[in-house]
Amino acid sequence: MRKLVLLSALLAGACSMNPKLERPPLAVASTFPTAGPAEPASAAALDWRDMFGDLRLQRLIAAALENNRDLRIATLNVEAARAQFRVQRASQLPAIEATGGYTRQRVPSGVAAAGVGGGGQSPSDPARPSGFEFGQFAAGLNLTRFEIDLFGRQRSLSQAAFERYLATGEGRRAAQIALIGAVADAYLNERLAQEQKHLTERTLADWQVSLDLTRKLRAARQNSGLEVVEAEGLVRQAEANLALQDRVLRQASNALGLLLGGPAPADLPAPLSLRQQPIRTQLPAGLPSDLLVNRPDIRQAEHELTAANADIGAARAAFFPRLSLTAAFGFSSLAFETLFQGGSRNWSFSPQIAQPIFQGGQLRGELRLAEIRKSIAIAQYERAIQMAFREVADGLAGRATFAGQVAAQREAAEAAERRVRLSNLRYRAGVNSRLELLDAQRSAYAAEQTLLGVLRDELSSAAALYRALGGGTAAPKDRP
């Protein structure tokens, strides 16, 4: 029996039908379009706590990583793929089971007279005129469902299962990166909505005071009804904007709560304004080849490609003979006392070989299907690289342009505020009309709203670049 198992193990390490896997070349440029030549390193190794310095945002991201349901599903998918790999790997090994049993049966006298059975009562015994009964004990070891993998079919299936397990692990890391970026985006959207709401509340209060003054001047016949109507229009527009901002704020909070997977921690630090956000906006991109190492979604597509290649090997091996083996070794006796004596020993050995002859085109169809799926996996691998390149290029475009846009918009908002002050002085001096002052106030309000939006866009672009570079899975540093 020991020699049989050793022979089977040696036969199991036979040839493989897997085709040679040649990964396609990078279907992108060798450098990013707006990256500088002195960027040998990438920000992918930057821990997300170093990327997002807002303590409130850090607490929210940590809560999301612990409770988010999408990330939990991705983690469970990893466990499921690991279990599937164990199931497939077990098929390469012999299944050995121990058996033991007792059988009690009655044999008719005619059969017993022909010599069937053994021991027990004689067929002519008057106590048992129609037959006799006897019991039999049995114990043994059985070797079942063992396929000698001559052509590597089981090994290819096991490799495919292992690669898909690795792919789900990379998918979980990709989900973690996406979750960190999504929480950052939702938090910035909530900050934008909150600050725009506060701006609208302040503007509404100022315009309400202006409307009251305009009405008093109208009552004193010191201005026209047109100025009153214009002031009322501004107040009503601000009230409508306030309702809009309140709705946007609630929706942003709901989106953030969904990502957290539960209620936010009760002891969160106070939020920082968009102007105070310590988010790094200047991140080094490295080279496009770095994405192959840093992006989990690209590594996931690569593992899927390797698994599809192994499926072709299994489909090829199905055309060749399949050798299987069953064996049994044990003891059987009519009495338990003599069960394990040498004369009670029995064994069986049953090798079997099967060669497909006619399958109605099934095997060729399965091989063609495996080849098509490999072609699909190649296209998905190339698409993942191209998508990663595009996302990084978009982030670098934002890195190169947002600073100038924010500076220009900030100057525009400051100029609009100066116009309000000057228009107010000229109005009080009787040089300008009330309508000129109202128009200046409206322009200043719009410029400030736009500035807040641009600040949020710059921070979101930096978070998107960090995510595109594969940041968010680096091991956290030791912190006090």
Distances (CA, A) of 238 to 195, 199, 221: 15, 10, 26
| Contact between residue 313 and residue 152 where contact means Cβ atoms under 8 Å apart | yes
Both tokens assigned to 454? 């641009």
* β pairing state of 345-354 and 95-108: unpaired
110 part of a folded domain: no
Cβ neighbourhood burial of 306 (10 Å; 0-12, 13-18, 19+): buried
Closest CA to 93 of 160, 147, 170, 32: 147
Distance, in Å, from the CA atom of 27 to the CA atom of 303, rounded to the nearest integer, reads 18
Distance, in Å, from the CA atom of 296 to the CA atom of 320, rounded to the nearest integer, reads 37
116 part of a folded domain: no
**Which residues fall within 8 angstroms of residue 128, CB to CB, at 6 or more apart?**
109, 121
223 part of a folded domain: yes
* Number of domains making up the chain: 1
* β pairing state of 345-354 and 131-148: unpaired
Both tokens assigned to 95? 């299944």
Provide the 8-state DSSP code for 334.
S
Which backbone phi and psi does 392 adopt, to 5 degrees? -65, -40
Distance, in Å, from the CA atom of 146 to the CA atom of 1, rounded to the nearest integer, reads 14
Which backbone phi and psi does 143 adopt, to 5 degrees? -105, 115
Return the pLDDT at 222.
Answer: 62
Distance, in Å, from the CA atom of 99 to the CA atom of 348, rounded to the nearest integer, reads 14
Distance, in Å, from the CA atom of 260 to the CA atom of 249, rounded to the nearest integer, reads 17
Running along the chain, 480 residues long, what does each successive block of 10 average in pLDDT?
A: 44 68 80 67 86 94 92 90 85 79 76 53 50 75 77 86 92 93 95 94 87 75 73 88 94 93 88 92 85 89 93 86 80 74 76 80 89 92 92 91 94 94 83 79 92 95 93 59
Both tokens assigned to 203? 């503007």
**Which residues fall within 8 angstroms of residue 107, CB to CB, at 6 or more apart?**
116, 117, 131, 132, 133, 134
Distance, in Å, from the CA atom of 480 to the CA atom of 476, rounded to the nearest integer, reads 12
297 part of a folded domain: yes
Both tokens assigned to 433? 């009309």
What single letter denotes the amino acid at residue 401?
T
| Contact between residue 441 and residue 207 where contact means Cβ atoms under 8 Å apart | yes
Return the pLDDT at 36.
Answer: 60
420 part of a folded domain: yes
Distance, in Å, from the CA atom of 278 to the CA atom of 55, rounded to the nearest integer, reads 10
478 part of a folded domain: no
Instruction: Please list the residues that pair with 98 across neighbouring strands.
Output: 141
Instruction: Please list the residues that pair with 331 across neighbouring strands.
Output: 139, 345
Return the pLDDT at 349.
Answer: 77
Q: What is the DSSP string of 285-351?
A: B--GGGHHHH-HHHHHHHHHHHHHHHHHHHHHHTTS-EEEEEEEEEEEESSGGGTTSGGGEEEEEEE
Stretch (H or E) spanning 142 = strand 131-148
| Contact between residue 441 and residue 199 where contact means Cβ atoms under 8 Å apart | no
Return the pLDDT at 22.
Answer: 82
Task: Give the range of the structural domain holding residue 439, as residue numbers without chain letter.
Answer: 2-102+135-468
Closest CA to 214 of 231, 191, 197, 202: 231
112 part of a folded domain: no
Closest CA to 392 of 291, 293, 282, 460: 291
Closest CA to 278 of 265, 269, 266, 290: 269
474 part of a folded domain: no
Distance, in Å, from the CA atom of 244 to the CA atom of 196, rounded to the nearest integer, reads 10
Which CATH number belongs to the domain containing residue 201 in this structure? 1.20.1600.10
Return the pLDDT at 122.
Answer: 46
Residue 142: CA atoms inside 13 Å, Cβ hemisphere, count? 8
| Contact between residue 152 and residue 17 where contact means Cβ atoms under 8 Å apart | yes
Return the pLDDT at 356.
Answer: 83
The pTM of this model reads 0.82
Distance, in Å, from the CA atom of 52 to the CA atom of 184, rounded to the nearest integer, reads 8
